[in-house]
């Protein structure tokens, strides 16, 4: 076990790890009080070596680590990779490729939706991870031996988990399924922090184009402010405040002062002035240039019932094939399938269509019925059955 604190040591370690077909990767970081995650520790392991890199060591240059992440002949193995990759993207403007996410692989193999790392380790290796160091202060120096041991165990256990999952995927012919999921994790769009697109992240509902224009401007202002000040978005302006601003569209300090979601005196601050300017910019936008507002169509009684039947079919399919339901289809997918046979959803494409989508369409059309036999839900082909008790949904 090595604690790396110097650039030369990191360079040598990455050179050794780069000789192998894969490397397991994990990071420890803090972001509770910042917009950008503060990288504290990087853990790396190959088949016969593991190192802990003190990312806060004085004078340490992480370039050798980023070069290793950019090496496309080496598989980079993560568990729940998104935040780790986001750090690499932010610091080096590169996305590790190819990657293998053990959480995704576990879902494809039926280990449940978004299984935690320690649960997966316990299930596949029988080992229990000591979690006492997980929430320690990773910015304090020197790092304690318990912290280093914990950091090392993360990537050495990950090594064993990866090899087991990889073998199970190959044996079940599901390796390609995981690769489809990796395309999202390796897309730059996944990590985009463009202020102009910040509104897409918000759940604020807008019904009119003018509301959308104000939402886009206020969300963009908050994103720029959070990034420049390195503060969490909610510390700059809370989501519920944005929702009220979009609805009320204040044009003066007095109108801003009437908003219940903003603290008293906020309207007299520079932030208040900036928000009013963002609202004015939104109100001045050409509505013809705005994205189209997707209208939510309430499901009728028949469609709502169809969705409920599709949920049962999805769960049955998930259990039968040993694939997490979340990987096969989402509730949004089911609602779109209920509304249209040609819905543009992943559940109606590729292996998902073969496993679930075709059967879902048959169920919707009444060609398949669901029944309970011996305590289990089964699908019955109504065209091949004389039963009259199953009328579909």
pLDDT in tens, 122-180: 999 999 888 777 788 999 999 999 999 999 999 999 999 999 999 999 999 999 999 88
Which pair of tokens denotes residue 296?
Answer: 């939510």
Band the pLDDT of 298: cuts 50, 70, 90: low
Q: What is the mean pLDDT of residues 293-316?
A: 80
Measured in whole angstroms, the distance separating CA 278 from the mean position of its chain's CA atoms is 29
The whole-angstrom separation of Cα 69 and Cα 63 is 10
Q: Is 230 left (phi over 0), alpha (psi -120 to 50) or beta?
A: left
112 close to 106: Cβ distance less than 8 angstroms: yes
Band the pLDDT of 387: cuts 50, 70, 90: very low
CATH code at 195-289: 1.10.150.80
| pLDDT tens readout for residues 12-55 | 999 999 999 999 999 999 999 999 999 999 999 999 999 999 99
Map out the domains of the chain as residue ranges.
2-191, 195-289, 301-384
Phi first, then psi, for residue 289 (nearest 5°) are -90, -5
62 close to 70: Cβ distance less than 8 angstroms: no
pTM: 0.86
Percent of the chain with pLDDT over 70: 95
> Angle at CA 89, nearest 5°, toward 83 and 90?
90
313 close to 356: Cβ distance less than 8 angstroms: yes
In the prediction, which pLDDT does 220 show? 98
Q: Has domain 2-191 been given CATH number 3.30.465.10?
A: no
> Angle at CA 175, nearest 5°, toward 169 and 179?
140
Task: Report H helices in 58-144.
Answer: 63-70, 82-92, 102-108, 117-125
Residue 336: half-sphere exposure toward Cβ, Cα within 13 Å: 13
Which pair of tokens denotes residue 55?
Answer: 């990312």
What architecture is the 301-384 domain classified under in CATH? Orthogonal Bundle (1.10)
Query: Residue 223 pLDDT more than 90?
Result: yes
Q: Is it true that 195-289 and 301-384 share their CATH fold? A: yes
Phi first, then psi, for residue 307 (nearest 5°) are -60, -40
Q: Looking at beta carbons, which pairs linking 252-261 to residues 24 or more positions away fall under 8 Å?
A: 252/276
CA 172, 173, 177, 182 dihedral sign is positive
Which pair of tokens denotes residue 59?
Answer: 């004078």
In the prediction, which pLDDT does 130 show? 81
The residue written with tokens 């936008």 in the block is: 285
In the prediction, which pLDDT does 49 show? 95
């Amino acid at each position: 076990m090595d604690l790396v604190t110097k650039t030369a040591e990191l360079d040598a370690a990455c050179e050794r790890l780069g000789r192998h077909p894969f490397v397991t990767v994990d990071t420890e970081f803090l972001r509770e009080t910042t917009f950008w995650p503060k990288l504290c520790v990087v853990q790396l392991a190959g088949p016969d070596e593991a190192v802990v890199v003190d990312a806060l060591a004085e004078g340490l240059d992480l370039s050798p680590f980023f070069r290793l992440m950019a090496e496309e002949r080496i598989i980079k193995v993560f568990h729940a990779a998104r935040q780790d990759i986001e750090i690499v993207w932010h610091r080096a403007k590169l996305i590790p490729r190819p990657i293998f996410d053990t959480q995704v692989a576990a879902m494809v193999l039926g280990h449940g939706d978004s299984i935690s790392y320690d649960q997966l380790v316990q299930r596949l290796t029988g080992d229990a991870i000591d979690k006492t160091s997980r929430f320690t202060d990773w910015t304090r120096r020197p790092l304690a031996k318990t912290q280093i041991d914990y950091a090392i165990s993360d990537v050495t256990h990950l090594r064993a988990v990866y090899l087991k999952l990889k073998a199970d995927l190959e044996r079940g012919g599901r390796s390609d399924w995981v690769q489809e999921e990796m395309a999202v994790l390796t897309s730059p769009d996944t990590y985009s922090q463009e202020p102009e697109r910040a509104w897409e992240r918000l759940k604020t509902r807008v019904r009119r184009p003018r509301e959308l224009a104000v939402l886009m401007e206020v969300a963009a202002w908050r994103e720029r402010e959070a990034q420049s000040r390195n503060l969490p978005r909610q510390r700059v302006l809370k989501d519920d405040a944005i929702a009220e601003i979009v609805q009320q569209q204040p044009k003066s300090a007095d109108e801003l002062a009437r908003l219940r979601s903003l603290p008293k005196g906020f309207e007299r601050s520079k932030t208040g002035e900036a928000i009013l300017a963002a609202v004015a910019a939104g109100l001045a936008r050409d509505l013809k240039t705005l994205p189209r507002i997707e209208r939510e169509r309430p499901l009728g009684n028949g469609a709502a019932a169809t969705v409920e039947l599709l949920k049962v079919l999805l769960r049955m399919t998930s259990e039968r094939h040993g694939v997490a339901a979340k990987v096969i289809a989402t509730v949004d997918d089911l609602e779109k399938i209920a509304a249209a046979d040609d819905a543009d959803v992943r559940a109606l494409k590729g292996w998902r269509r073969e496993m679930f989508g075709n059967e879902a369409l048959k169920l919707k059309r009444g060609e398949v019925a669901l029944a309970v036999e011996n305590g289990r839900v089964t699908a019955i082909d109504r065209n091949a059955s004389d039963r009259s008790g199953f009328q579909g949904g």
